[in-house]
Chain A
Amino acid sequence: MTANSEIDMPAQTAGITHSEVTSVEPAIAVNNLNIYYDKFLAVRDVTIEIAPRSITALIGPSGCGKSTFLRSLNRMHEVIPKAHVEGVVQLNGEDIYRPDVDPVTVRRRIGMVFQRPNPFPTMSIYENVLAGMRLNANRLSKPDADEIVEHSLTGANLWGEVKDRLDNPGSSLSGGQQQRLCIARAIAVEPEVLLMDEPCSALDPISTMAIEALMEQLKDQFTIVIVTHNMQQAARVSERTAFFNIDGPGQPGHIVEMDLTEKMFSNPQEKATSDYVTGRFG
């Protein structure tokens, strides 16, 4: 089944190959999701399931809509005016796009780490970790706050490096440390899912390794979805990989196939996938 033939087919049977069906209840289930910017269809007809407590990588050429898709998973794409979706995204069986659901609540449960480290410049390292609570005016006792900071920074493999200078501004850290601070900030609010949008693309190789090692640890507690343009990274860290593609400029992005990472890189079902992972395009 080629990518082109999908267009004419009814959505339900659109040919995304799921050779490996997750045996457990999925953390996130996406059904026939179309994502629009105003009238422009950016991503069409995505149906995938994301397994809990594992790492799922989204790969594909630039402009194929993988970041847009990722941002639709915690309704961050709504920050852009007139962006909206059709279809269903379920978090543990609950539709996050139901009309009475506040996107703010969704984002508390599905955290996000961005491409470039973005600690709050007005806050210290300590305050940055607590930002999720403090900004929501949750009252914390000092011991509780200390506990959360230490726990989150430890979880982000940063505690040892910063424990003596928690009052320094977050921006005083190196790029890789800043990104781990952002991860600590995201996990401090104890989300169920962690979305990562090319978290290493602005970092040097050493920092990248540190983040990858961290992801390996975090997947015991969190469901992680990572967008990466780096196929080696996807191969190194993820259990499952989804390949997104685009037919041409102005066309909507769509998912080509999703499978266990091992299989995607050794024996993909679609030609487009094998072309991409072997470096023939993109």
Chain B
Amino acid sequence: MTATMSPPQSQVSSLTTGKMHRAIPFAICAFSVAVGVVAVYSIGGFKWGWMAIVGAHLYLLLVTIASRVIEDRRQATDRAMRTVMTIAFTTVTIPLISVFWKVIAEGASRFDRKFFTGGMRITPEDMLAQMEGAAVGGALHAMVGTLIITAIAGIISVPLGLLTAIYLVEYGKGKLASAVTRMVDVMTGIPSIVAGLFAYALFELFLGPGTRSGLSGGVALSLLMTPVVVRSSEEMLRLVPNELREASLALGVAKWRTILKVVLPTAIAGILTGITLAVARVIGETAPLLVTAGVAQDINLNPFSGRMTTLPVFSYYEYVQPGVPPETGIARAWGAALMLVMIVAVLFTAARIMSHVLKPKGLK
């Protein structure tokens, strides 16, 4: 805050003349907000969004004019830009808050026992209850499906990605390594639905058309997850100081043991963080599962055959095909969305904590 670092105004100093008193922006801010509230209220009632918009723009205008008058053009531009940046950041946080608010507000109503204990096999009695507005149906089948499919993706991606990262950092120097690096780079940007189509095409070629299974869903997700695991693990392995590898090799330790017992443990915090974030990324994927695993009404524990629902797909279908009356289906959609957001937030936070806690004390 270089601009406002001025001594008390009672002291007259050549360094502070021509500077705006630090209380002025606050005063302008208060004035702008007041005007925004009153103006919007008198025209269209209590609309807080419009009030904020009017207030912010008025502040931007007034503070620039004030600075132009009291200070100079350069200071005015500086203040205007500072205000613009702040407004931009606030603007971005609003949707974030709104998403969380909406998901919690709408989803919490379905966090009941039925939601966590049952699937979507709806009996005639349920249908009747639903017509009367009761909450029926659950997402247990989708939770189980999410767990199975994500686990499959992890089982494929983690060893494959980690070993590839080890290859790139510890062994690979030639053409193969640079080809792999470039391919992984490009593949981090592959549209998720394309990954789904790939898995579908792969399984169709081998198992015939129209195949839907949890396994092909897992394969689709692993295609999205592997590049992320490779990239993050590679980055973490490269952070391990070469001196540690040398120290181990100089003790007469074979290279593979050096990698497994010195390099990996040193980088493990970062690697686990990366894997967790990769899981968080794929657990919310809908599109690839829509085309590979499909949607089922009941719990399906067999990933090798039959359709399997996951939470995002469940949420999507319950929203676009909510049934009659639509409110119960939409409530289920929000319930699944809340569940998803919670899972992602937990994974995200866990990753943060992990990277702090597991990091070896010796590394900065």
CB <8 Å contact, A135 and B249: no
- Given the known interface contacts A114-B247, A118-B244, A182-B247, the answer about A169 and B362 at a Cβ–Cβ threshold of 8 Å is yes
Which of A43-51, A83-91, A105-113 has 4 or more CB atoms under 8 Å from chain B? A105-113
CA distance in complex: A276, B31 (Å):
77
Task: For B362, list chain A residues within 8 Å (CB).
Answer: 119-122, 169-171
In the assembled complex, the Cα of A183 lies from the Cα of B35 at a distance in Å of 74
Which of B243, B245, B250, B266 is A122 in contact with, Cβ under 8 Å?
A: B266
Q: How far is the CA of A189 from the CA of B252 in the complex (A)?
A: 9
Residues of B within 8 A of A1 (CB): none
B106-153: which residues lie under 8 A (CB-CB) from chain A?
none
Chain A residues bordering chain B, tally (CB within 8 A): 33
Q: Is the CB of A135 within 8 A of B250?
A: no
What is the CA–CA distance of A93 and B70 in the complex, to the nearest angstrom?
A: 88
Determine whether the beta carbon of B266 is less than 8 Å from that of A120.
yes
Flag if B252 contacts A121 (CB, 8 Å).
no
Q: Which residues of B contact A122 (CB under 8 A)?
A: 262, 265-266, 360, 362
Of A19-27, A74-82, A214-222, the one contacting chain B is A74-82
Q: A114-B247, A118-B241, A121-B362 are in contact. Are A136 and B266 (CB under 8 A)?
A: no
Instruction: Find out whether the CB atom of B251 lies under 8 angstroms from the CB atom of A132.
Output: yes
**A107 and B244 within 8 A (CB):** no
- Contact (Cβ within 8 A) B262 A76: no
Q: How distant is the Cα of A107 from the Cα of B253 in the complex, in angstroms?
A: 8
User: Which B residue's beta carbon lies closest to that of A137?
Assistant: B257
Residue A172, interface by CB 8 Å: yes
Q: Closest approach, in angstroms, between the C-beta of B271 and any C-beta of chain A?
A: 13
Most chain B C-beta atoms within 10 Å of own C-beta, residue among A112, A119, A122, A132: A122
Q: Answer whether residue A96 sits at the interface, using C-beta atoms and an 8 A cutoff.
A: no
B246 interface residue per 8 A CB criterion: yes
* B250 in complex: contacting residue of A105, A111, A121, A136, CB < 8 Å: A111
Taking the nearest CB of chain B, how far is it from the CB of A46, in angstroms? 21
Contacting pair B251 A121 (CB below 8 A):
no
> A114 contacts which chain B residues (CB < 8 A)?
243, 246-247, 250
Least CB distance from B46 to A in Å reads: 58
Tell me the smallest distance from the CB of A210 to a CB of chain B, in Å: 20
Q: What chain B residues lie within 8 Å of A112 (beta carbons)?
A: 246, 250
Whose C-beta in chain A lies nearest to the C-beta of B241?
A118
**Contact at A121–B360, with CB atoms within 8 Å?**
yes
Interface assignment of B23: CB less than 8 Å from any CB of chain A: no
Number of interface residues of B (CB under 8 A): 25
Are A107 and B258 in contact (CB-based, < 8 A)?
no
User: What is the distance, in angstroms, from B324's C-beta to the closest C-beta of chain A?
Assistant: 60
Chain B contact surface mostly = helix
Q: What separation, in Å, do the CA atoms of A153 and B45 have in the docked complex? A: 80
Complex contact B247–A107 (CB within 8 A): no
| B239 CB to nearest A CB, Å | 12
Q: Which residues of B contact A132 (CB under 8 A)?
A: 251-253
**Nearest CB on A from B71, distance (A):** 52
| Alpha-carbon separation in the docked complex, A182 to B254 (Å) | 18
Q: Complex Cα distance A58/B261, Å? A: 33
Q: How far is the CA of A119 from the CA of B247 in the complex (A)?
A: 8
Name the A residues within 8 Å of B244 (CB-CB): 118, 120-121
Q: Which of A79, A105, A185 contacts B251 (CB 8 A)?
A: A185
Instruction: Indicate which residue in A76, A116, A169, A189 contacts B361 across the interface (CB closer than 8 Å).
Output: A169
Give A122 to B261 CA distance when docked, in angstroms. 10
Query: Nearest residue in A to B255 (C-beta to C-beta)?
Result: A104
Q: Is the CB of A186 within 8 A of B243?
A: no
CB-contact partner of A79 in B249, B252, B265, B266, under 8 A: B249
Checking B243, B249, B257, B363 against A107 with a beta-carbon cut-off of 8 angstroms, the contacting residue is: B249
The 5 closest A-B pairs by CB, nearest first: A121-B362, A108-B252, A171-B362, A112-B250, A121-B360
- 16 example contacts (A-B, Cβ-Cβ < 8 A) are as follows A74-B250, A76-B250, A107-B249, A108-B251, A118-B243, A119-B362, A120-B262, A120-B362, A132-B251, A132-B253, A135-B262, A136-B254, A137-B257, A171-B362, A182-B247, A186-B251
6 additional A-B residue pairs with CB within 8 Å, beyond A136-B252, A136-B257, A169-B360: A79-B249, A107-B252, A111-B250, A118-B241, A119-B362, A131-B251
